[in-house]
Amino acid sequence: MLASLLPSAASALSAPAVGALPLLAQQLGRRLYHKNVVEHYERPRNVGSFDKSDPDVGTGLVGAPACGDVMKLQIKVDEQGNIVDARFKTFGCGSAIASSSVATEWVKGKSLDEVLKIKNSDIAKHLSLPPVKLHCSMLAEDAIKAAVKDIQAKRTKTATAAA
Amino acid sequence: MSARRLASLLPKSCLELVVWGQPRLLGALAQSEAALDGNCRPSTSYSPAEPATSLAVRQYASRAQLSSSSVTQWRTAHTAACPQHGPACAHDHAHHQQPQQSGAASGAKPAPRRVLTLEEVEKACRGCDKLVKRGGLVCNGCATVQPPDESLSYFELFSLPDSSFDIDPQLLEKRYKQLQWNLHPDKMGHKPPQEREFSAQHASVINLAYSILKSPLSRANYLLASKGVNAGEAFEGTIDDPELLMEVLEAREEVEGTDDPAALAQLLAHNRRQQEGLVGRLSAAFRAGDMGAAVSLTHQLQYVAKLEQEIVKKLPQL
């Protein structure tokens, strides 16, 4: 009787269906990251740096003192004010890395005005961040804003210098 | 002479007489206790015919037959002198109620300290007819464990002189051990379940309080939070101080980029020196009451402490 029960129990444990994973995690009291977070954390997009002094590059550097995270997000902007490329470097938790990776993907091909409409709630929703990790997406939103502010300041500076 | 010494000098019978016979003097003693907090103001929780402190001093002086000059000295040292009428002033001036602000207080104002009520200063013991002083965990008379008092600050819990960033780590450790010794499970074996439960709750709060006060970073965070300043761990916002963040980013890149134990050890030594420097500046900021600087220094310390964690993670042998 016992022997007949064992194999089925073992197979159920060793090979759970993929859809049953969150349920299993819930039953075990563990919290799993959403697959989008894991995806961006394991294969982060656009990691790296541009030259900070390049007149076409805007750099946003923000930090969350509560967790000691720091995030650098850079955008490369063409003459028409469209973002052609983006890079990031983040020292922080998985959610912060995933948030900045998503942010660099989303800003590419958009205009400066458009990217200012990206809200942290959109990033958090895309990554299904839990409430304790919302500040990571906030960091990404603020990094975008800081980068835009930086390139706009650079542009007005060169414009006044030329005039 | 501290107010606690003063109270302890009174013969025990006197003290009991005081406690049971004269509610006004009870208030006076309570006030003397409050004076321990470095905050000598007349209590407003009852209406004395004369200020509580002077009443206490006069009664004590008549018992101990002290010369009036030493009484004046004691009073001068333990009460906030009235700027208009000197230390002997018995009026109910508004400035008696306000803690005097020292230094250039920029940023957030410290919240005015609440005057303790009599019930908060001394509570009736659960087990006998004695009174247990604020912060007392176990009754001196019958050794009954008292219920936890959530209104105690962590500084009060360890009877530290005042709620300041500069604490004596040895005193803190000594008080911590004393408290835990009083609550040792070996002493609780014969106690009723309710008291054992109280004892366990005390021990847990004391452990938490000790770990928070021990480290300068968490102590700064606790102090800022108790002053109602949004900073540190509770700070949910982001900062964009480019100088600090660039420094942090470069330091993190440096740590990430090396696997050489000697280089890491050097970085760790530099990091520890940096932390010491920040703690010194933080202490000066708290002393000056400059909360704006305290917040910014706490943020810096948070980053430097995080960097230390990262270095230590790469140095498993340390």
Q: What residue spans in chain B does CATH classification 1.10.287.110 cover?
A: 119-214
Give the model confidence (pLDDT) of A49-107 as tens digits: 999 889 999 999 999 888 889 999 999 999 888 999 999 999 988 889 999 999 999 99
Question: Are the Cβ atoms of B306 and A68 closer than 8 angstroms?
Answer: yes
Q: Is the predicted pLDDT of residue B273 greater than 70, yes or no?
A: yes
Q: Is the predicted pLDDT of residue B295 greater than 70, yes or no?
A: yes
- pLDDT given for residue A23 in this prediction: 59
- pLDDT given for residue A158 in this prediction: 84
- pLDDT given for residue B206 in this prediction: 93
Q: Complex ipTM, two decimals?
A: 0.71
Across the range B299-313, mean pLDDT stands at 91
Beta strands in B30-172 (DSSP E): 122-124, 131-133
CB nearest to A138's CB, from B238, B245, B306: B238
Q: Is the predicted pLDDT of residue A118 greater than 50, yes or no?
A: yes
Q: Which residue has the higher pLDDT, B152 or B68?
A: B152
Chain B residues with CB-CB distance to A72 below 8 A:
245, 249
Taking the CA of residue B290 and the nearest CA in chain A, the distance in Å comes to 19
Give the model confidence (pLDDT) of A1-57 as tens digits: 444 444 444 344 444 445 555 555 555 555 678 888 888 888 888 899 999 889 999
| Domains of chain A with bracketed CATH | 35-162 (3.90.1010.10)
- pLDDT given for residue B144 in this prediction: 84
Q: Is the predicted pLDDT of residue B70 greater than 60, yes or no?
A: no
- pLDDT given for residue B9 in this prediction: 45
> How does the average pLDDT of chain B come out, rounded?
70
**Interchain contact A72–B (C-beta under 8 A):** yes
Residue of A nearest to B246 (CA): A61
Chain A residues with CB-CB distance to B242 below 8 A:
61
| CB within 8 Å of B278: residues ≥ 6 apart | B297, B300, B301, B304
| CB within 8 Å of B277: residues ≥ 6 apart | none
Taking the CA of residue B249 and the nearest CA in chain A, the distance in Å comes to 7
One DSSP character per residue, B223-288 reads HHHHTT---GGG--S-B--HHHHHHHHHHHHHHHH---HHHHHHHHHHHHHHHHHHHHHHHHHHHH
The model's pTM is 0.64
pLDDT grade, residue B131 (50/70/90)? confident
pLDDT grade, residue B209 (50/70/90)? very high
Pick among 1.20.1280.20, 2.40.110.10, 3.40.50.300, 2.160.20.60: CATH of B231-317: 1.20.1280.20
CB nearest to B235's CB, from A62, A65, A142: A65
Question: Of the ranges A24-38, A103-117, B46-60, which is most confident?
Answer: A103-117
Tell me the C-alpha distance between B65 and B20, whole Å.
23
Query: Torsion-angle region of residue B273: left (phi > 0), alpha (psi -120 to 50) or beta?
Result: alpha
pLDDT grade, residue B46 (50/70/90)? very low
Query: Angle of helix A120-127 relative to helix A134-162, nearest 10 degrees?
Result: 140
Question: Are the Cβ atoms of A142 and B245 closer than 8 angstroms?
Answer: no
Beta strands in B122-184 (DSSP E): 122-124, 131-133
Q: Which candidate, B115, B91, B152, B110, places its Cα nearest to that of B40?
A: B115
Q: Is the predicted pLDDT of residue B227 greater than 90, yes or no?
A: no
Token pair of A28, please?
């075990």
Token pair of B225, please?
């939070």
Taking the CA of residue A30 and the nearest CA in chain B, the distance in Å comes to 24
CB nearest to A70's CB, from B231, B237, B245: B245
Q: Is A67 among the residues known to form the active site?
A: yes
Tell me the C-alpha distance between A71 and A63, whole Å.
6
- Residue B131: phi and psi, rounded to 5, are -105, 140
Q: Which residue has the higher pLDDT, B111 or B283?
A: B283
**Interchain contact A63–B (C-beta under 8 A):** yes
Tell me the C-alpha distance between B206 and B214, whole Å.
12
Q: Which of A136, A138, A140, A151 is catalytic?
A: A136
Q: Work out the percent of chain B whose per-residue pLDDT is above 70.
A: 59
Give the model confidence (pLDDT) of B75-103 as tens digits: 344 344 444 444 444 444 444 444 333 33
* Tally of CB atoms within 10 A around A3: 6
Q: What residue spans in chain B does CATH classification 1.20.1280.20 cover?
A: 231-317
CB-based contact A89:A49 (threshold 8 Å):
yes
Question: Are the Cβ atoms of A61 and B233 closer than 8 angstroms?
Answer: no
Chain A residues with CB-CB distance to B303 below 8 A:
63, 65, 68, 70
Q: Is the predicted pLDDT of residue B230 greater than 50, yes or no?
A: yes
Q: Is the predicted pLDDT of residue B192 greater than 50, yes or no?
A: yes
Across the range B127-149, mean pLDDT stands at 82
Q: Is the predicted pLDDT of residue B218 greater than 60, yes or no?
A: yes
Stretch among B111-125, B243-257, B292-306 having the lowest mean pLDDT: B111-125
- pLDDT given for residue A21 in this prediction: 56
What is the second-level CATH architecture of the domain B119-214? Orthogonal Bundle (1.10)
- What does the buried/exposed string (b/e) look like for B297-307 if buried means 16 or more CB atoms within 10 Å of the residue's CB? bbbbbbbbbbb
pLDDT grade, residue B29 (50/70/90)? very low
pLDDT grade, residue A117 (50/70/90)? very high
Question: Are the Cβ atoms of A70 and B241 closer than 8 angstroms?
Answer: no
Tell me the C-alpha distance between B148 and B304, whole Å.
36
